[in-house]
Amino acid sequence: MIAKFHETNDKLLLLHELYGRLDLSKSDYDLLRRYLSGFEGERKFLDVMGEIDGVVVLWDIYLEDYSAQFDFLVLAGQYVFHFDVKHYSGVYAYRDGLFKSANGRVNKRLMMQLTASEVGLKQFLLKHGFHYKVTSRVVFMNESFQLIGDTDKYILFYYDLGRVVDYLKGNAGICEDMMRLSEALIAHHGDDSKFYNTDDYDMDDIKPGIRCPKCRRVGMIRDVKGHKYQCRCGHRVSNREAVDIVYRMLELFRVDKIRKCDLNRHLEMPNRTLQRILSKHYIKKGINRGIYYEKK
């Protein structure tokens, strides 16, 4: 049972939407690249965990009061399993808790963060009256990743997940107390966007157009009949879906009052068609040239 899915914060969503529309700063580009790589690894992990019946899976929990962040928490039997999922690639050396990449960069924090988050989770359980054991592991999900050096019981690889799944299945069975714990963790999940510092951009400089929800390319065009927008990858969305996509994008761009002209800069939709969709699915505000639209 997947009790909570990951939700990308608005700062990262903004970078994801700006990518391909203007040139991101190097720091923002690197931040987005790291996030997307990590997200890919977490999706792979979820594909495995999501198939297990009788356990509770929470994807992305941040306990702000305890400074503890968790990629995945899995509740099974008398345990809360904490999995810190990584999608590193290339060759790394591991010794005395330190990871060193081929280019010489050293990561001192990975195992320290794993331990610190486990301590925070144990404190949370104690404070809220839950009696579960906690086990933490780092999981490397990229098949191209190679680790040489010391062995460590706290480190798993994608090919180890088979025995993890077998163990979890052997402890399957969701009880009322597990559901209460799941609800408590979700209720105390905090906003992690404060950890992401991004640069400011001039929204007048962005490349207009609709981004394909499937392949993420900007530039969907209306088909001959004018009923749908189509991408080069073959994916199609309805006129209504296209309006919703652009409206959400403008919200991310922090457009205060979204007008019809703001939408049509990206849609290039006949005025009559756009007006019909807005009248049916959005709330009209203001008068004359000050008219803007809000979601119902």
The tens digit of pLDDT for each residue in 120-151 reads 999 999 999 999 999 999 999 999 999 999 88
SS3 201: coil
Assign 194 a pLDDT band (cuts: 50, 70, 90): confident
Q: How many CB atoms lie within 10 A of CB 80?
A: 26
Positive or negative torsion for Cα 81, 47, 10, 240: negative
Question: Is 8 in contact with 16 (CB distance < 8 Å)?
Answer: yes
Name the β-bridge partners of 211. Answer: 218
Q: Cα separation of 11 and 197, whole Å?
A: 8
pLDDT in the model for residue 150: 86
Q: 269 with 222: CB under 8 angstroms?
A: yes
Cα angle, residue 220 at apex, residues 218 and 223 outer, rounded to 5°? 170
Looking at residue 167, the DSSP 8-state letter turns out to be H
Average pLDDT (111-124) is: 96
Alpha helices in the chain (DSSP H): 10-18, 26-49, 110-127, 161-170, 176-187, 239-252, 260-267, 271-281
Residues 6 or more apart whose CB falls under 8 angstroms from that of 54 comprise 1, 76, 169, 172, 173, 174
Query: Residue 192: pLDDT above 90?
Result: no
How far is residue 267's CA from residue 250's CA, in Å, rounded to a whole number? 12
Per-residue model confidence (pLDDT) at position 13: 93
Q: Summarize the confidence of residues 239-249 as an average pLDDT.
A: 97
